[in-house]
Amino acid sequence: YLDNAWISVGAPLAIVHAYFYASNPTTEEASHFMEEYPDTIRWKREDVSKSIQCYMYETEASEEEARDHVKKLMSNAWKKINAYQFSNAHISQTIIGVAVNLARAAQCIYQYGDGHAIEHLETKDRVMSLLIKPL
- Residue bearing the bigger pLDDT, 19 or 57: 57
pLDDT for residue 130: 79
pLDDT confidence of residue 71: 87
Q: What is the pLDDT of residue 4?
A: 60
Q: State the Cα–Cα distance between residues 57 and 114, nearest whole angstrom.
A: 19
For residues 63-92, average pLDDT: 85
Higher-scoring residue by pLDDT: 125, 1? 125
- Which of the listed ranges 65-69, 88-92, 117-121 does the model predict with the highest average pLDDT? 65-69
Residue boundaries of the structural domains of the chain? 2-132
Query: Does the pLDDT at position 5 exceed 70?
Result: no
Residue type for 79, please? K
Task: For the domain covering 2-132, report its CATH number.
Answer: 1.10.600.10
pLDDT tens by residue, 15-56: 777 777 776 556 666 666 656 655 544 444 444 447 788 888
DSSP the chain: -HHHHHHHTSHHHHHHHHHHHH-SS--HHHHHHHHT--TTT-----SSHHHHHHHHHHH---HHHHHHHHHHHHHHHHHHHHHHHHH-TTS-HHHHHHHHHHHHHHHHHHTTS-TTTS--HHHHHHHIIIIITT-
